[in-house]
Amino acid sequence: MGEKILGSEPSETDRVRERYQRRMILTDLYNPLNPSVYMAKQERERALIRLITEAGLTPVNDKRVLEVGCGAGSNILQLIELGFNPELLVANELLEERVQIARKRLPQDVQIIQGDASELKLAPNFFDIVL
């Protein structure tokens, strides 16, 4: 956690970390065997496919993508399944423990950057898609 100064408000980064800590108590929140979880995932997949096609982003194999808050990498895996090139995918995650999970799950060609997304030093207009 970030260092707190007496009388100061926690930073936005600290508040994000705290929210994720509270979520970890809800063990079924991300369980893919929970029907509400997999049905919501299928709904998001359909919406993503519709958005990609309606926005004219096909073909997808040459698109550069940044995902802010990649968590364990599920969205990146989904993009790869849809035909995105892992070498053109960049995943950002604030929490180190989630970065470690993503590194185990994702292909080595996916660049994973740990840290606060507001502090990333990335070239302007480099990405075709930002999630």
3-state secondary structure 60-76: CCCCCEEEECCCCCHHH
Mind listing the pLDDT tens digit for each residue in 78-108? 999 999 999 999 999 999 999 999 999 999 9
User: Domain boundaries in the chain?
Assistant: 12-130
Q: What is the pLDDT of residue 92?
A: 98
Length of the chain in terms of residues written: 131
Q: Helices in the chain by DSSP H: which ranges?
A: 12-23, 35-54, 74-81, 96-105
Compute the mean pLDDT over every residue in the chain, rounded to the nearest whole number: 89
Mind listing the pLDDT tens digit for each residue in 108-125? 999 999 999 999 998 989
**What proportions of the chain, in percent to the nearest 5, are helix, strand and coil?**
45, 10, 45
Which CATH architecture fits 12-130? 3-Layer(aba) Sandwich (3.40)
